A = this chain, B = another copy of it.
Amino acid sequence: MDVLDFIIDSHRAVSQPELEHALVHKFDRVTLYRTLNTFNENGLLHTVADSSGSMKYALCNTHCEGNNHHHEHLHFHCTSCSETVCFEEVMVTRPTLPAGYAAVDYNFVVNGICRKCQA
């Protein structure tokens, strides 16, 4: 619950190291990884692979059930502050793949400078 609360309040995709730093001494590092994995497997969180070096986890929408994620929305990663956010309103058009390739999941991250770092 503490993990979920923090992610909900942060309004962005967070990594295990961020959680560990935020919830200092409340939980062990391993517990956090296991919790994030469980939430991911059960459709509460989805992963976002950005260029920050650590996996980020963000809230799922209501269309996710279990391992069947549906996240055809955009993500933005700020190369200045390293924060990553979901743009739930900007849908990703599923591209047509060459024959023989089966899509399961989409990871679209735009890198750039966010609003906060713009100033």
User: Any chain B CB within 8 A of the CB of A51?
Assistant: yes
A-side interface size class: 35 or more
Evaluate contact between B111 and A105: CB separation under 8 angstroms. Answer: yes
Evaluate contact between A118 and B98: CB separation under 8 angstroms. Answer: no
User: What is the minimal beta-carbon distance from A66 to any residue of chain B, in angstroms?
Assistant: 16
Of the candidates B79, B90, B101, B118, the one whose C-beta lies within 8 Å of that of A76 is B101
Q: How far is the CA of A36 from the CA of B4 in the complex (A)?
A: 38
Evaluate contact between B106 and A96: CB separation under 8 angstroms. Answer: no
User: Any chain B CB within 8 A of the CB of A19?
Assistant: no
Identify the A interface with B (CB < 8 A): 47, 49-51, 55, 74, 76-77, 79, 87, 90, 92-93, 95-115, 118
